[in-house]
Structure 1
Amino acid sequence: MLCALIMAGGKGTRFWPLSTEEKPKQFLNLIDDKTMIQMTVDRIKPIIPIDRIFVCTGERYVSLVKEQLPELPERNIIIEPEGRNTAPCIALSAFVIKRYYKDSTMVVLPSDHLIKKEDKFREIILDAEDYLRCNGESIITLGMTPNRPETGYGYIKYTDKKESIKNSEVIKVEKFVEKPNLEIAKEYLNNGTYLWNGGMFIWKINNILDQFKKYASRTFETLSCVTTAKESELQDIINICYGETEAISVDYAILEKSDKIFVIPSDIGWDDIGTWKSIERYRAKDIDDNILAENLKVIESKSNMAINNNKKIIMIGIEDTMTVETEEAIYIVNKGYMDRLKDFKEICN
């Protein structure tokens, strides 16, 4: 039985000023009429019903989750008392999901990624589930073939040990590597045995808890009380014990230590919508490379981008600018500064 965990606790600081701590990027409609978290849920719903989709988020975002995902059962909102990186988030969520679906297979997904080939994505998830039926001690991740020397993503180095399962190829992972500089990213691209790490995982819920018990025992022991807590006391217990977990990523806590990690190369039209430039890649453009938007008029201008709400924006004779309207201000930025905007936050306030 498949269950999904959508991690939605990030603050989205790279998209300031549009994304704020009060309403981070997973709750914004950056590239579609729907928000990023709505797109993530809709993507997985054809194979996992809503009662088996869980969202882990912070207390301050619970109202946004309820507003944007009104069909999500309230028990499926897992509340982190504080952000402590992905390992505690995943361990807590695994313990909570196990309360309701004891022997499930758990799909872990970020809340803010783009996947254009959704049918293929779902096919790969089902292939991974099938593989885990006979290989329950394995951990599977999805890796995307790089098409540029990207310095903003982590990478997965894979081996020559592979096998086929239905429509997918399952390959043994050699190691996970951090975000590289440009020179190393070019080496990875030319090497041919590296994939982008999209932070998506599939594992048996009992296996991942065993992995935590083995490699991250403090987090496991701290959160094990979640399994037996009364429903009415569950959040109070989480609030009390969560701060005692080890604040560490699941990559460091588990993935770098386990010897049964496999990757499925995934041609799914994936992108981590993590920068303004990534939005620029997918928004519709006119013949002069201006990104189209409602309430925007461009005259003798090219290569511009505008994200506006109520005010009509008119651009005349300009190029390579980005305009962002928030409730507090209108920001007009040379596009060369797009992905450095957060560095100017304190100066602008």
Structure 2
Amino acid sequence: MLHAVIMAGGSGTRFWPLSRQALPKQFLTLAGERSLIQAAFDRCQPMILGERFWVVTNESMIETTAEHLPEVPKTHLIPEPCGRNTAPCVGLAALLLAQEDPDAIMLVMPADHVISPIENFQEAVLNAVNVVKKDPEQLVLFGVPPTSPATGYGYIERCTSISNGVFKVASFREKPDRPTAEEYLQQGTFYWNCGIFVWKAQTILNELEKHQPEIFAQLKQLQKSINTPAWDSALAECFPKMPSISIDYAVLEKSKKIAVVEAPFDWDDVGSLEAMSRLNSTDENGNTVIGTACLVDSKDNIVRSSTGHTVGLLGIKNCIVVHTPDATLVADRTDENAIRELVAALKEQGHHNVL
């Protein structure tokens, strides 16, 4: 049976001051009327019912996750005692899934992407599921055809065709420099790796056993405590001992049976505040305004204001301005990644009330 696993453990520091420790990016509403994590749930309906959803998140976020996704059983909200990247996250979900449904197929996806149209997404998922049903040892990735020479994504190179829209994977490429990304774009055999996967729960556990014995050893230890009063203490002891490593490095770049489905949908990883420009309309001067603002002689800015607050810009270009009730950000739009440095500085200088 097909289950969905949402990975929701990120902090989203590049979205400060909208994103905070108590309200990470996945709980923000950046497009439409639902939060990002709710949109991840919605795009699987009615293909996967709420009772077959699982969410792996920070243990401090369990209650907030339950509020956003009341359709998901609370027993399927899996708390991570600490951050350990995606390989331990996927392994933990697979362990619990395989216990409940030995034949489970997992759709694994991040909580904070924007994807449309839903119909095309579901079509691609079912295509991947059919690949896994024909060959249960296959690990299936989704590859997004690149629309620009982006340097912020990893790339997947395809080779021979398996079926319509599905290919064997020839190689994985790290985030390239600009000339290399332009070459990938011209070749037409490369995809952006969007971090969405389909595979059998037991298969990914077998791959972890083969390629990541340290992680698998802790999972085996945990297995003894599933559905017992000792589960919470066992998880608190075993999970932090797992190496912090992505599922890509841990398994996918080592496995021999990897396929990629060419994504027939539009995808945005919503990696930073710049996404607000892509997800919302712009005026004739290239400004994106969410909320109330008055802009004079200002071009190519992103402005977001909180309810009832008016932001005024005069003679400003290429800036990001975000107002919240207790913190305001003004940043150079061309160096938005430096927001992480600002968050680090806020922490170092003791501004914990706004983190």
**Same-fold call, TM cutoff 0.5:** yes
Gaps of 5+ in 2: none
Query: How many corresponding residue pairs?
Result: 345
Cα shift at 1:300: 4.8
SS in 1 for 2:17: coil
Deviates more, 1:278-287 or 1:120-129: 278-287
Q: How does 1:206-225 map to 2 (within 5 A)?
A: 206-225=202-221
CA spacing shift, 1:100–1:185, aligned 2, 3 Å: same
Asked if residue 86 in structure 1 is aligned to residue 71 in structure 2, the reply is no
| Residues 305, 323 of structure 2: 8 Å contact kept | yes
TM-score (norm 2): 0.92
Which residue in the other structure is 1:181 paired with? 177
CA spacing shift, 1:127–1:347, aligned 2, 3 Å: closer
Asked if residue 191 in structure 1 is aligned to residue 201 in structure 2, the reply is no
Deviates more, 1:323-332 or 1:69-78: 323-332
Q: How does 1:113-128 map to 2 (within 5 A)?
A: 113-128=113-128
Which residue in the other structure is 1:21 paired with? 21
Deviation string 1:105-151 (CA, Å, 9 cap, x unpaired) is: 00110111111221111011011111211111111000011111101
Cα shift at 1:180: 1.2
Cα shift at 1:82: 0.8
| Residues 5, 53 of structure 1: 8 Å contact kept | yes
Distance across 2 between alignment mates of 1:304 and 1:178: 31
Identity of aligned residues (%): 36
TM-score (norm 1): 0.93
Distance across 2 between alignment mates of 1:135 and 1:117: 28
Aligned alpha-carbon RMSD (Å): 1.8
Which residue in the other structure is 1:239 paired with? 236
SS in 2 for 1:292: strand
Which residue in the other structure is 2:138 paired with? 138
Asked if residue 314 in structure 1 is aligned to residue 312 in structure 2, the reply is yes
Which residue in the other structure is 2:198 paired with? 202
Cα shift at 1:268: 0.5
Deviates more, 1:193-202 or 1:311-320: 311-320
| Residues 277, 339 of structure 1: 8 Å contact kept | no
Distance across 1 between alignment mates of 2:42 and 2:257: 30
Distance across 1 between alignment mates of 2:230 and 2:45: 30
Which residue in the other structure is 2:162 paired with? 163
2:332 aligned to 321, 329, 334, which one?
Answer: 334
Distance across 1 between alignment mates of 2:67 and 2:53: 16
Distance across 1 between alignment mates of 2:77 and 2:325: 29
Deviates more, 1:321-330 or 1:291-300: 291-300
The one-letter amino acid paired with 1:7 is M
